[in-house]
Amino acid sequence: MFKSICKATLALSILTGGLFYGNNTPNSIKTVEAATVNGTVTASVLNIRSGPSTTYKVVGTLKKGAKVSITRTSGSWYKITSGTKTGWVSSKYIKKSPTTVSATTVNKMKTLGTSKQLIVVSAQNESTRNVLIETFEKSSTSWKKLHTYTGVIGKNGMISNKHEGDYETPEGKYTITKAFGRYSNPGTKMTYRKITSNDVWVDDSNSNLYNTWQLASENKGRWNSAEKMNISLYNYGFVINYNTARTPGKGSAIFFHIAGTSGYTAGCTATSKANVVSILKWLDPAKKPLIIQTPLSKLTNY
């Protein structure tokens, strides 16, 4: 989902980003490290402050070895929670550790049917914008993990009851059947459609063509708003088959695509160009690929 891009800088171990609605360019540059959401205190005593600098007052302390959850970043500071304590701490004294999904967990899932390819997009909680994107493939007897990537999702996180324009990424399990891009097929086996300047995705909830790919030249009053597909963030990507019933107002244009520089999306899932292309080359329609997008607390629902 895309309207306009707000520029910021996103520094990651693997470049990620996203897109969102807005026209303002922030003056400050923030550093965000996606998907590294847990950590351990390394200082003997670490001050918790009310804001992201030493000019803010101390509101608590943590001892060495304390476990924290990182919910935001600003420069070299993390906003953390640890038990009932919350506030800002220097990132210098936090050792980070990612929370990943294991093949053992996937092998316990009961809802995957005959699929042999799975992408799991997992978030620490429903309000975070940062996710891990992990790929799994099933051999004759069991699932095995292939790769782990970092990425970003909607500005307001994930939600199980999505609505148009809520800046949320839909939770759930979805099929993958169509890839797209502005350039020639990068090597995917999926059905691939090359984007032209005439391509749009209808996001008008009152249109009979809501949540479908159409040609702008054929509008003729059939919709009042649509998203342009011919943008750099869609150089490569695939459609996440969300709201295939096209229920008015339940959300449209949910894609897996190349990340921008804002640090979040308007509801899609995004990662670096290299990651997107790698996943596209791996996807195989004969293996009935699925994507699960979920906070870790709901992973057992699948």
> pLDDT tens digits, the chain, 302 residues: what are they?
544 333 333 333 333 333 322 222 222 222 333 344 688 999 999 999 999 999 999 999 999 999 998 888 888 999 999 989 999 999 999 987 767 899 999 999 999 999 999 999 999 889 889 899 999 999 988 999 999 998 999 999 999 999 999 999 999 999 999 999 999 999 999 999 999 999 999 999 999 999 999 999 999 999 999 999 999 999 999 999 999 999 999 999 999 999 999 989 999 999 999 999 999 999 999 999 999 999 998 999 99
DSSP helix/strand/coil, 231? coil
Same domain? 48 vs 164:
no
Task: Measure the N-to-C terminal CA separation of the chain; round to a whole number of Å.
Answer: 26
DSSP state letter for 297: G
Same domain? 90 vs 108:
no
Same domain? 85 vs 176:
no
Domain count, the chain: 2
Torsion angles phi and psi, residue 127, rounded to 5 = -100, -10
Give the number of C-alpha atoms closer than 13 A to the C-alpha of residue 92, restricted to the C-beta side.
8
Residue 280 in contact with residue 176, Cβ under 8 Å? no
Same domain? 175 vs 296:
yes
Same domain? 54 vs 160:
no
Same domain? 168 vs 191:
yes
Rounded CA separation 70/64 (Å)? 16
Q: Is residue 31 part of a domain?
A: no
Q: Is residue 11 part of a domain?
A: no
Same domain? 79 vs 173:
no
Same domain? 56 vs 133:
no
Q: Is residue 6 part of a domain?
A: no
Rounded CA separation 8/31 (Å)? 9
Please tell me the pTM assigned to this model: 0.73
Range of the domain at 138: 103-301
Same domain? 90 vs 189:
no
DSSP helix/strand/coil, 112? coil
Same domain? 190 vs 63:
no
**Considering Cα of 153, then 158, then 160, then 165, what sign does the dihedral take?**
negative
Among 82, 97, 112, give the residue marking a domain's end. Answer: 97
Which tokens hold the place of 274? 């290299």
